[in-house]
Structures are given as C-alpha cells and as structure tokens.
Amino acid sequence: MKCGEVEKGLIAFVDERASATERRDVEAHLAGCPACRTRVDQFRGIANLLGEVPAIEPSFGFDARMWQRVAAEPQRASWFAWLVPQARLALSAAMLVALTVWMVKLPANRPQVPVPTPAAVTASSDQDFDAIKDLGVLENYDVLTKFDALSESATAEPQLHDKAQSDEPSSND
Amino acid sequence: MARSDVQLMLDVKAGDEASFDFLLQKYRSPLVNFLNRMVRDQATAEDLAQEVFLRVYRARKQYTPSAKFTTWLFRIATNLALNSVRDNRHQRMGISLDAPADGEDSAPMELPAREPRVDQRMVERDRVEIIRRAIWSLPEKQRAAVVLHKYEEMDYVEIAGILECSEGALKSMLFRAYETLRVELAPLLNQPAAPRGGEGRPS
C-alpha cells in the first residue's frame, strides 16, 4: 500500500483504536516505509505534547450564574405568548378580514325566497302573489300594480285566440 | 443505581430540576474545557457553556432520545464555538481594516500564518502556551476534531456525529491536523517536558 492509502488509519493506529484489519495494513506499510515510521513516532510525540496542556476549572460562581439564567427563562408559555409571533398575528388578522368580507356579501348571495316551480304557477292567484311579491325583478311598481291585469290577460289569451279562429271564416268570407 | 444521561434528560423533561443540576455538574467542566480550547478565552468559554446548558434546558420539553446525549450536547457546543470563532475573526479583521496603518498601540493581528515560527517564540513563551497556540492555529473543524479526540476521548463515530461528517472524513481531518502540529511543534518534539510544577518553561 502507498502512504496516501494508509494515512487515514495512522491516528487510529497511534491511539490504538484501529481495527485489526486497519492495524495490520498500517504495520505492513510501516515495515517498508521509513518516512511513515518517523511520522508515526512524531504523531505519538504530538499526542504526548497535547496531553501536557492542563485542564481548567470553571470559575467560582459558574453554577450561580447558570441558575440565574435558568430562573429567567419563562416556565410556561402563557395564552398571550401565543399572540406574540408575528406570523400567527398576521394570519389571525387576515382570517378576521376575510370573515368580515364574507359576512358583508352573504345577504346578496342568498336567495330570499325559493324560485317558484311550474306547479306553483298553477296554484291560486293569492298564493302566486305571495310567492312572487318579494322577488327583486318584480319590485317594479307598474308590474305589481298590473299583476291582476297580467293574470287576466294570461287567461284571456286563449279566448282571444279562439275568437280569432271563429272570426277567420267570416273574414274570408 | 446511576441513571444514564438519557434517563436524566427524560427526568428533566418531566420537570425534575435536580436532574438538570446533575447533568450540569457532570458536564460543566468538560464543556468549559472544550470551549476554552476552541475559543481560547475562559470568560467566553464559560458564557458559551452556559448557553449550551440553557439550550438544553429550553429544549427539554421536546427532547427525544434519538442520539447519544453527549453527541447532542457537544454538537450544540461545537456549533456555538464555531460561530463565536468566526464572529471574532470577522471582528478582528474589521478592526485591522479600520485601525490606523501606523498606530502606535495597534496590536499585531493574531493570524496563525503570520505568527513567528515556534522555534522563534520558544525563547519568550511558555511551552504549554506554545502547544495551546498550535492547537488554536488549526482550522476550526480540525481543532474541534483534535480536542474531542484527545481531551474528551470520544470515539470516532461520536466525533463524526458531532461534526456531522463521515468517519473517513474525520480520520482525514485528524491526519491533516496532526501533520500541521508535527510541523508547528517540531522543536518541542525532541525536548522532554519539564517536571510538573515548573509549568514546562524551557531551560
């Protein structure tokens, strides 16, 4: 194996954490590579040097400062905290506006009375009137006032038609 | 029977602050030392260590034991340390750009590449301080890898988990770090350490 192929395993070899295979590969390489033998010796020296740096102790008062910071933490989120995030606030406002707009438009979209069916047309004139008196299209005073005339003309039309038929022979005459 | 870290954390989640104190006592020293080796300033290291514990405390309600507790703890610490180091570097660079070019009081910028070689510094600096500086001169991630490997004695899988890299990448990182240290600390390699108490000052 070349130097570059074993270099990844050198630190694990030095700190004796290499796997059996890794160790065998490195040992085989070191047997024929004086440069890497020197490198491994120096790595051991570096590991010893690093061990010379003493540890420090946290300063007096570390724990007290820590607990002060913990005590300053909010223990439980209040209902008001729910409102604080800007995204939630914006979403709530948008929903409120949408609801308001929808409610303002609601009466215009909803039909006030059911649309009369053909069966209703054949009902009595009083029922017809009740059914259609509130319709928007008939909120015309003229139409409403002439409603009786319209219903009469509707019933009179077949008579006129019959009359016209009976008149035809005389005109031909 | 001693409770595991995960069990302690689950107890913290259930509202037991004594368990949090137990974790604090157990890990404050390793964390402060790790962070001190990363940022090279004890006051900053302690602030960051407290921030780590505070984040653990804040996250207690959402805690699920998906990873080893120390992996989680040191991952938070590493991220905070890397951010702190980067922020400080930017600040230093900002200061050097704004400082007068020939100001009498302007201290030399502490960029590792521009520092004098180890053998030049040895006459005036403590041996331990030289080793500390050599560690600090490593790129941040290599430094974290060396500190976690050497001082926290973590295994490769855990360090790779903390640094969020593969085990192979970690081994390469450690090799490169030791190669740099081999050059930086070459003058000390053949010099035996002074007996303890003299704090390693070269004779």
Tens digits of residue pLDDT in B111-164: 555 565 666 555 445 789 999 999 999 999 999 999 999 999 899 999 999 999
- pLDDT band for A76, please (50, 70, 90 cuts): low
pLDDT, position A5 = 85
Say what percent of chain A tops pLDDT 70: 55
- pLDDT at position B66 is 83
Mean pLDDT by 10 residues, chain B (203 residues): 89 92 95 94 95 94 89 96 86 56 44 57 70 93 96 93 95 96 90 52 33
- What does pLDDT average to over chain A? 75
Per-residue pLDDT, averaged over A137-155, amounts to 59
pLDDT score recorded for residue A45: 95
In the DSSP assignment, the letter for residue B3 is P
Q: Which residue has the higher pLDDT, A1 or B169?
A: B169
- Give Cβ neighbours of residue B147 (< 8 Å, ≥ 6 apart): B34, B37, B38, B135
Q: What's the pLDDT at B109?
A: 47
CB A17 within 8 A of CB A23: no
How sure is the predictor about A170, in pLDDT bands with cuts at 50, 70 and 90?
A: very low
- H or E stretch including A4? helix A3-14
Residues of chain A in contact with residue B200, where contact means CB-CB under 8 angstroms, are 52
**B80 reaches A (C-beta below 8 A):** no
Q: Are A25 and A9 in contact (CB under 8 A)?
A: yes
Query: How far, CA to CA in Å, does A90 sit from each of A97, A98, A104, B196?
Result: 11, 12, 21, 65
Residue A57 in tokens: 């102790």
pLDDT of residue B203: 31
Say what the pLDDT of residue A121 is. 52
Residue A98: is its pLDDT beyond 80?
yes
pLDDT at B202: 34
Determine the Cα angle at B77 with ends A68 and B45, to 5°: 60
Mean of all residue pLDDT scores within chain B: 83
Q: What is the pLDDT of residue B105?
A: 43
Contact B174 A11 (CB under 8 A): yes
Q: Which candidate in B38, B155, B182 is best for mutational testing of the A interface (most A CBs within 10 A)?
A: B182
- pLDDT at position B33 is 96
Confirm or reject contact between B167 and chain A (CB < 8 A): no
Using the beta-carbon criterion (under 8 Å), do B193 and A17 form an inter-chain contact? no
What is the distance in angstroms between the Cα of B116 and the nearest Cα belonging to chain A? Answer: 20
pLDDT band for position A57 (cuts 50, 70, 90): very high
The reported pLDDT for the residue numbered B108 is 46
Q: State the Cα–Cα distance between residues B129 and A49, nearest whole angstrom.
A: 11
Q: Which of residues 95-124 of B touch A (CB under 8 A)?
A: none
Average pLDDT for A95-100: 90
The answer to whether residues B20 and B12 touch, using CB atoms and an 8 Å cutoff, is yes
Handedness of CA B179, B184, B190, B192 (dihedral sign): negative
Mean pLDDT within A83-108:
78
Chain A window 33-62: which residues touch B at a Cβ cutoff of 8 Å? Answer: 39, 42-43, 45-59, 62
pTM over 0.90: no
User: Using CB atoms within 10 A of its CB, is residue B94 exposed (0-12), middle (13-18) or buried (19+)?
Assistant: exposed
Asked whether the predicted pLDDT for residue A163 surpasses 80, the reply is no
Segments in chain B forming alpha helices (H): 5-13, 17-39, 42-58, 69-98, 118-121, 127-136, 140-150, 156-163, 167-184, 186-189
Which 20-39 residues of chain B touch chain A by CB within 8 A?
20, 24, 28-29, 32-33, 36-37
